[in-house]
Amino acid sequence: MRGLVTLRATVPLLVGCLLVAGCLVAGCVLLAGCGGRGGPPEAPRARVIPVEIFEVTPGAVTATVAATGTIAARDDVPVLAEAGGRVESVLVKVGDWVEAGDVLVTLDDELAALGVQQAEAQRLMVEADLADAEANFERARTLWENEDISDVEYEATERGAKAARAGLMAAEAGLGTAKRQLRNARITSPIAGMVAFAQAEPGHLIAIGTPVAHVVNDSNLEIEIGLNEDQVVDVDRGRSAEVRVRARPGEVFDGRVEYVGPRADDLSKTYPVRVTLANPGRRLRAGMVAEVTIATASTGDVIVIQRDWVVDRYGEPAVFVAADSLALIRKVSLGRVVGDRVIVASGLEPGDLVVSLGYDQLTDSTRIDVKNLP
């Protein structure tokens, strides 16, 4: 009886719970069916990507190669002492302009002058010996022709005359050497230019080969650059070059290729190229770092786009083209690279609108919002 009473008490409670649950489900279905406003549910809206575009137009392109080098003076000469001795005077200072042959430094030349005197005396003695030897030879010739002396005696006088002539030649060479040593006591500039360094001091003893000054003529300059094998193939002697330096912002200096190395450097694996340029007004200085740009080839009526607009499409180059508010993938064939741009050999036509900004967020047929309508 107790179980029956419990069952009778539980049944109304279960029925009540089922009725409440049914009402909740029915309410949810009604709300879902009405869409909250009494209409059908809205479909999710497609994402629209803001982009910028570039209208493709054919034009002329000049291919260039660029490299960095250090400017050097065309004539840059260290002046070395060709004789040793005590510095007597320094006739120039840094910044002075000198001509070729001007005296820069003088050395004590007393010993050199005495050497010249000694060499001259030696030559006079040898000349006298030669005169005696030649006179003896002429007398011996006459006697030999008359058969008054033997062949041996005649040949001995002939050898004596030859030895005397050789002695004179040696004496003259000694005199020339002495005079050269005397001239070397006056150290001169080998070129016209400006004194960049003056290292000698009066009273100092210097040895042969000691640098005493440095003369630079920077009216003409040169720049050595290195180009890799891809860059150097179209660079020839005589091609024009543009030179820019950070110290002269906005200025472009005209240069010309003077030399292209026949082989690559063993260490850098680059080919040496020398560019020369005039320096009117001396606006450029030796030691400045310069960026050199060389024009290698010109192509007309080609389509060129920025290299970073090109995307990879399954291992092949492609670009996004704007058409009817959609970005469509377009495979392209690429040609020569020109700096940060690349020539498009095929795949684009004049008038095509290439996505130039925002392409990294696109897939094929993505809806786009063009922000820079042409």
CA 180 to each of CA 87, 103, 341: distance values in angstroms, whole numbers, following the listed order:
18, 15, 63
Q: By three-state DSSP, how is residue 231 classified? A: helix
Based on the domain organization, do 126 and 34 belong to the same domain? no
Single out the residue in 296, 326, 355 at which a domain terminates. 296
- Asked if 84 contacts 105 with a C-beta cutoff of 8 angstroms, the reply is no
244-293: pLDDT as tens digits: 999 999 999 999 999 999 999 999 999 999 999 999 989 999 999 999 99
Residue 128: in which H helix or E strand, if any?
helix 110-145
Residues linked to residue 216 through DSSP beta bridges, in sequence order: 76, 194
Is the residue at 302 inside a domain? no
pLDDT higher than 50, residue 23: no
- Of the CA atoms within 13 Å of residue 362, those in its CB half-sphere come to 33
Based on the domain organization, do 102 and 114 belong to the same domain? no
CB atoms within 10 A of CB 245: 17
207-257: pLDDT as tens digits: 999 999 999 999 999 999 999 998 898 899 999 999 999 999 999 999 999
Based on the domain organization, do 197 and 288 belong to the same domain? yes
Is the residue at 290 inside a domain? yes
Is the residue at 303 inside a domain? no
Based on the domain organization, do 101 and 116 belong to the same domain? no
Is the residue at 274 inside a domain? yes
339 vs 284, more confident: 284
Query: Structural domain tally of the chain?
Result: 4
Is the residue at 204 inside a domain? yes
Single out the residue in 136, 166, 184 at which a domain terminates. 184
Based on the domain organization, do 168 and 245 belong to the same domain? no
Based on the domain organization, do 102 and 119 belong to the same domain? no
What is residue 190's DSSP assignment?
S
The widest CA-to-CA distance across the chain, in whole angstroms, is: 187
Name the residue with tokens 């005649």.
154
Q: By three-state DSSP, how is residue 101 classified? A: coil
* Of the candidate ranges 9-23, 74-88, 319-333, the one whose mean pLDDT is the lowest: 9-23
For residue 146 the two structure tokens come to: 């008359």
- Asked if 260 contacts 237 with a C-beta cutoff of 8 angstroms, the reply is yes
Based on the domain organization, do 207 and 284 belong to the same domain? yes
pLDDT higher than 70, residue 15: no
* Of the candidate ranges 40-44, 310-314, 355-359, 360-364, the one whose mean pLDDT is the lowest: 40-44
Beta-strand relationship, 97-98 and 193-198: antiparallel
65 phi, psi to nearest 5 deg: -125, 150
Is the residue at 301 inside a domain? no
pLDDT higher than 70, residue 55: yes
- Asked if 307 contacts 341 with a C-beta cutoff of 8 angstroms, the reply is yes
Among residues 358, 335, 86, 121, the alpha carbon closest in space to that of 203 is found at 86
CB atoms within 10 A of CB 110: 12
Based on the domain organization, do 200 and 289 belong to the same domain? yes
Based on the domain organization, do 138 and 222 belong to the same domain? no
Question: What integer is the mean pLDDT of 114-132?
Answer: 94
Among residues 290, 315, 289, 305, the alpha carbon closest in space to that of 359 is found at 305
Is the residue at 344 inside a domain? yes
Is the residue at 316 inside a domain? yes
For residue 318 the two structure tokens come to: 């492609």
Based on the domain organization, do 220 and 97 belong to the same domain? yes
Domain boundaries, position 118: 109-184
DSSP string for residues in 286-318: TT-EEEEEEEEEEEEEEEEEEGGG-EEETTEEE
* Of the candidate ranges 125-129, 135-139, 339-343, 359-363, the one whose mean pLDDT is the lowest: 339-343
What is residue 148's DSSP assignment?
-
Based on the domain organization, do 198 and 266 belong to the same domain? yes
Residue 45: pLDDT band (50, 70, 90) is low
pLDDT higher than 50, residue 13: no
284-338: pLDDT as tens digits: 999 999 999 998 877 778 999 999 999 999 999 999 999 989 999 999 999 888 8
CATH number for the domain that contains residue 176: 1.10.287
Using N-to-C axis directions, what is the helix angle for 110-145 and 151-184, rounded to 10°?
A: 160
Single out the residue in 184, 203, 230 at which a domain terminates. 184
pTM: predicted TM-score of the whole model, two decimal places: 0.61
Based on the domain organization, do 204 and 280 belong to the same domain? yes
